Chain A
Amino acid sequence: MSGLSVRDLRVVFDGFVAVGGVDLDVPAGDVRFIIGPNGAGKTTLIDAVTGLAKATGSVTFEGQELLGRKVHKIARLGVGRTFQTATVFEELTVLQNLDIAAGWARGPLTLLRTRKGVPPEVEKALETVRLTGVRDKPAGTLAHGQKQWLEIGMLLVQNAQLFLLDEPVAGMSHDERDATGELLGQLSKDHTVVVIEHDMDFLRRFARTVTVMHAGKILSEGTVAQVQADPKVQEVYLGHPVEA
């Protein structure tokens, strides 16, 4: 079974059920948006998939079981993620950030030497995420949107096959959103992308499929139109019928 497959996933924090038995299939090459009100368990779901939160059930990616593995081992299987607040290494330059992201497989001798030039995959990622012009700037000085793109660039050079993006366009300007959407389109050609997002306009324009979560469970799943027409979704998530 290729792509991401989640079976009966449960995450419990001190008796509070954050994710209560989720089944989810994201086929390879999909652009899946996960939406839901605050506290629906969206981020916890990603935390469980990436090994950050303890969970029961089963999560497989490209046939490999992820649950029970350590965070860095899961990352090495090609599962990459970004965070709600962009977390890049602020004191290091954009180039250094990307070079580190590209390097977990490097041997000790390579590590102890100084980087000479720009590795080709880093060069390519810089262009894809449009940061070539600021590559020698400290990542801490980047604009909010650029930091999110840098994180996506880091996933690219990390050779992630599955991109889990946690609210990538939150706080972005209109133009930055458009650019991010285009970037998603580019990524989806040879990656599987899962996006957590609140922005309905962004979702309508760029989602291929949508999963709606509510109170730790999957509420609805389908295309944008199908999900929007679902009365359950209108009730709990939007609170009123959608005019679309």
Chain B
Amino acid sequence: MTYLKKPLVGFGIAAVLLFVVAPVALGDFRLNLLAKYLCFAIIAVGIGLAWGRGGMLTLGQGVFFGLGGYAMAMHLKLADAGPGSMPDFMMLYGQLDELPWWWKPFANPIFALAATILLPMFVALLLGLLIFRRRVRGAYFAILSQALCAAFAILLIGQQGTTGGTNGLTDIQGFFGYDLNDPVNRRMIYFIIAGSLLAVLALTWQLNRSRYGELLVAVRDGEERVRFLGYDPANVKLVAYVAAAGMAGLAGALFVPAVGIISPAMIGVVPSIEFVIGVAVGGRASLVGPALGAIAVAWAKTALSEKVPSAWTYFEGLLFILPIVFLPGGLASLAGMIRRRRAVVVDNPPAPVEKTPVEVTT
């Protein structure tokens, strides 16, 4: 079973870094920031699956991130308010005498927890059935997912009385009985997030190496060809799309206790694009590339915004353009390139055949 060893070593190193090195090396503030970055990394792993492996440029993962985040935040707000009471913002706006019916089930912790993942997956299933059966793909798919994202944010903003509007759901105090102002509990949240990231990576690793993973790559590279082999590519894509939505939902649910707030500004068009940038930088088709890319980009955003606030926007634009033009495989492809170059130096065979870069829009 030698082929199992390398990934296991990789997981071991990641676990040591996340569970031992980071908590020791970072202060409470930085560790909490890292927790937030790891949430983005979880979304990124899903995007890597859907976009890198499945060829679906998901520019609207904010929808699923938001569904998961709001589902979690609704429960936490209700728990903060206590049984029978309404969340603070509803009292403040004073338009409602009673909790809206669609808030009520979220008082149940098990329902809310399940909803954080299952609700985004269900929405993705419905959307996917409509989109993939109609053979919407490429740039049209990307634009459609982005439009949905914008629509979702606008919907949330418009329903101020029940969703908190532009402010979102803020000032979340507790997490299933644990006080979020206590640094120990915040640390616990970090560990939950780190563990979730490892679990999501393990799941995606298995998906990638399974027969399904091979089929997904085949659909990405030759959707029409796969039909002639007796498969309906719509179903193949649907699985990756729904899985990616579930991961984004999980990330949203974990983001809420880590940051204490969820608002339309965090799930709209701009954040959705930012999720994708990290994946492009890291290398969309690899397993750890998207996660590392997302962490690196989020870290760079904080670091740069702290020093030169106005520079970030330009840097972000560059980040999107540079990998697409010069390094379509992302940073993850650098390792392979170096290995190949070394092989050339050692054996001196004829230069390796240049692979044609995969089209960006698909």
Which residues of A come within 8 Å of B, CB atoms?
50, 70-72, 75-76, 80-81, 87, 89-92, 96-97, 99-101, 103-106, 110-115, 140-141, 154, 158
Contacts and interface: CB of A to CB of B under 8 A. Distances in A.
B57 interface: no
A115 B3 CA distance: 13
A106 B226 CA distance: 14
A70 B224 CA distance: 12
A18 to B, nearest CB: 19
A217 to B, nearest CB: 26
B362 to A, nearest CB: 14
Given A75-B228, A96-B218, A104-B230, 17 more contacts: A50-B228, A70-B227, A72-B227, A76-B230, A81-B228, A89-B217, A89-B225, A91-B221, A99-B211, A99-B214, A100-B214, A100-B229, A101-B229, A104-B229, A111-B210, A112-B206, A115-B211
B244 to A, nearest CB: 16
Contact of A89 (B206, B222, B353): B222
Nearest to A81: B228
B103 interface: no
B232 interface: yes
Among B207, B211, B224, B355, max chain A CB count under 10 A is at B211
Contacts of A100: 211, 214-215, 218, 226, 229
A54 to B, nearest CB: 15
Interface in B303-362: 353, 355
A111 B215 contact: yes
Contacts of A70: 227, 232
Contacts of A112: 206-207, 210-212
A103 B215 contact: yes
B231 interface: yes
Contacts, number: 75
B209 interface: yes
Contacts of B210: 111-114
Nearest to A115: B211
Given A89-B218, A91-B217, A75 B211 contact: no
B221 A89 contact: yes
B212 A154 contact: no
B215 A75 contact: no
A221 B269 CA distance: 62
Given A114-B209, A114-B210, A71 B221 contact: no
Interface string B187-221: 00000000000000000001101111011011001
A114 B1 CA distance: 13
27 contacts: A50-B228, A70-B232, A71-B227, A72-B228, A72-B229, A72-B230, A72-B232, A75-B230, A87-B225, A89-B218, A89-B221, A89-B222, A91-B221, A92-B218, A97-B218, A100-B214, A100-B229, A104-B230, A105-B230, A111-B210, A112-B207, A112-B212, A113-B210, A114-B209, A114-B211, A140-B355, A158-B230
Nearest to A102: B229
Give 8 nearest A-B pairs by CB, closest first: A104-B230, A71-B227, A75-B230, A111-B212, A89-B218, A76-B230, A72-B227, A96-B214
Contacts of A113: 210-211
A141 B214 CA distance: 18
B131 to A, nearest CB: 17
A154 B229 contact: yes
Contacts of B227: 70-72, 75
B328 to A, nearest CB: 13
Q: Which has the most chain B C-beta neighbours within 10 Å: A71, A97, A115, A158?
A: A71
B2 to A, nearest CB: 14
A151 B229 CA distance: 11
A105 B215 CA distance: 13
A90 B221 contact: yes
Nearest to B228: A75
Nearest to A159: B230
Given A87-B222, A99-B211, A114-B209, A104 B217 contact: no
A100 B222 CA distance: 12
A32 B231 CA distance: 27
Of residues B212, B214, B215, B224, which shows the largest number of chain A Cβ atoms within 10 Å of its Cβ? B214
A158 B229 contact: yes
Nearest to A138: B355
A97 B214 CA distance: 9
B228 A80 contact: yes
Contacts of A115: 211, 214
A91 B210 CA distance: 16
Contacts of A105: 230
A41 to B, nearest CB: 20
Given A76-B230, A100-B218, A106 B225 contact: no
A92 B221 CA distance: 10
Contacts of A110: 211
B231 A72 contact: yes
Contacts of B206: 112, 114
A71 B214 CA distance: 21
Nearest to A50: B228
B211 A106 contact: yes
Contact of B228 (A71, A90, A96, A99): A71
B214 to A, nearest CB: 5
